[in-house]
Structure 1
Amino acid sequence: MKYEFTIIIPVYNESESLKRLEEMLLEYLKKASKKTCVILVDDGSTDGSTEMIREISDRNQDIYRILFQENAGKGAALKAGFEATTSPLLGYMDADLQTHPEDFERLLVFANDYELVTGWRQVREDTGVKKISSLVGNKVRGLFINDGIHDTGCPLKVIHTQNAKQIPMFTGLQRFIPAMILLQKGRIKEVPVPHYPRSAGVSKYSFKNRFLGPLFDCFGYVWMKKTYINYHIKEKNTK
């Protein structure tokens, strides 16, 4: 079946959210403006999420699965989803439902004109610690990267698949997607999207992985920016 849009959802220990996630995905698939499928990428869950993902994908023809043998991180889960995508456009969201699949429609209207359309959570429904660590993390990334993005970590994005597949694999990939699209000379559009409070499960984020990890990753990005190879083929004649 030929799809126009693929939604990638990394999952790590989100068993309490998966039933509602399935319901919301099925509601969206019925009314999506593009023929859409979903890839659930289980990142080595240990709470029963793996079995639930297998059951969800078995009973729904437009929902597929990738199951990691062990926890490899969100960046790895996204990269696996990127590589498995065959549609011209892909998007991703988190499994915690703090963003909703129906809000992809807010982004898709701009997808023809931009290589990346990214959400901007102007009003955050998070704990105080999470808000502060995200704010500080965004400020630090802004100093290093200067990509002009207000909310680079928003887990609601639409990307041209060919651009997503060119993003190199590295830890913390999800924090640098706008910057990596800019390295490809891609165009970016930020669109305000709703943000919802977590209603089930437990957040996986802490000050360490919200601030310290991204801080160290920024040094790696600076090196990558200096050495990044970017080219566009004008013509080729190969077998």
Structure 2
Amino acid sequence: MNRTKDYEFTIIVPIYNEEDNIGRLEKELSVYLKNSSVKSCILFVNDGSKDNSQTLIETTCRQNSSFFYISFDQNRGLSAAIKAGIDTAESQFVGYIDADLQTTPEDFELLLPYRNQFELVMGIRTGRKDSLGKKLSSKIANGFRRWMTNDGVADTGCPLKVIRTDYAKRIPFFTGMHRFLPALIQLQDANVKQVPVRHFERLAGTSKFNLWNRLIGPFMDCFAYRWMKKRYIKYNIASDNISTHNI
């Protein structure tokens, strides 16, 4: 039995070479689970880490009954890790937070009140503690993405998100997908809510982002999204004789 089914909310935490952050993740996520307004669990997705992350993840999960993990055989990238987490989770809602804890799990409490009215509730980072270059490249990439997708989202790079799991499982996934979650879920005629959340400095580990995956990669992925959008299959079943109530 998939134990995430016992929870209303599964928080997906992709991990790639974050051994220096696992202890802090355990502490902050444990505190959050005790105070969460809904019954919640943690799902680590180890994206083929080459450091000691897997050992630390296993220890953390043994020590905390609401912590679970899956582990890739090799590094597949952030989009694959998020997709694997969504595919694995069987709770009513899934969430996502980065392992660097530049956002805090406490702020899920700002998003969760809207979960029944919106299929995707996401954060907008305020008072960002990133370098000038990082903030500038993010601003450029966000502006280009909004122009290409018309998704109306101010900060798609904010990792704090709460999604209805049935909608999340229908999102068409591709490499770089994590940058387009709002636009991709809107293809299902879903509604998106944006909520301001806090932002903090990275205290441990190293950023996995560079010029390619923060600026050039997103530009190329925008064209992939536009191509896919024109070919997206969407339908509604008007009638059937499969359901028991029709027999």
> Is the pair's TM-score, using the shorter chain for normalization, greater than 0.5?
yes
Amino acid at match of 2:208: K
- Asked if 1:122 is matched to 2:87, the reply is no
Counterpart AA for 2:95: G
The answer to whether structure 1 residue 103 and structure 2 residue 101 are counterparts is: no
Question: Structure 1 residues 234 and 23, CA, compared in 2 at 3 Å: closer, same or farther?
Answer: farther
| Code of the aligned partner of 1:178 | P
The answer to whether 1:211 aligns with 2:215 is yes
**Partner deviation per Cα, 1:32-84 (whole Å, 9 max, x = no partner):** 11110110000011111111111111221100001001000000000000011
**Structure 1 residue 95 displacement after superposition:** 0.4
Query: Cα distance, 1:9 vs. partner?
Result: 0.6
Structure 2 partner of 1:42: 46
Is 1:51 the equivalent of 2:55?
A: yes
Measure, in 1, the Cα distance between the counterparts of 2:123 and 2:117.
16
Is 2:167 aligned against 1:163?
Answer: yes
Q: What displacement does 1:229 show?
A: 0.9
Partner of 2:20: 16
CA RMSD after TM alignment: 1.2
The residue that corresponds to 1:94 in the other structure is 98
Aligned partner of 1:137 among 136, 141, 144: 141
* Aligned residues with identical type, % of pairs: 51
SS of the residue 1:109 aligns to: helix
Whether 2:179 is the aligned partner of 1:180: answer no
Secondary structure of the residue aligned to 1:21 is helix
Distance 1:229 1:197 in 2: 41
Instruction: Give matches, 1:53-72, under 5 Å.
Output: 53-72=57-76
Distance apart, 1:233 and its partner CA: 3.2
Q: How many equivalent residue pairs? A: 239
Indicate which of 190, 195, 208 corresponds to 1:191.
Answer: 195
TM-score (norm 2): 0.94
CA distance in 2, matches of 1:123, 1:152: 16
Q: Structure 1 residue 173: deviation in Å?
A: 1.2
Q: Distance in 2 between matches of 1:217 and 1:112?
A: 30
Query: Are residues 1:233 and 2:232 paired?
Result: no
Q: Relative to 1, partners in 2 of residues 1:235 and 1:108: Cα closer, same or farther, differing over 3 Å?
A: farther
- Gapped runs of 5+ residues in structure 1? none
Structure with higher Rg: it is: 2
In structure 1, what residue type is equivalent to 2:15?
Answer: V
| Unaligned runs of at least 5 residues, structure 2 | none
Of 7, 29, 36, which residue of structure 1 is paired with 2:33?
Answer: 29
In the alignment, is residue 4 of structure 1 matched against residue 11 of structure 2?
no
Supply the distance in 1 between the matched residues of 2:207 and 2:68 (Cα, whole angstroms): 24
Residue 234 of structure 1: how far off its partner (Å):
4.4
State the Cα distance separating 1:87 from its structure 2 match.
0.8
Query: Which one-letter code corresponds to 1:60 in the other structure?
Result: N
After the TM superposition, which segments of 4 or more aligned residues of structure 1 sit over 6 Å from their partners?
A: none
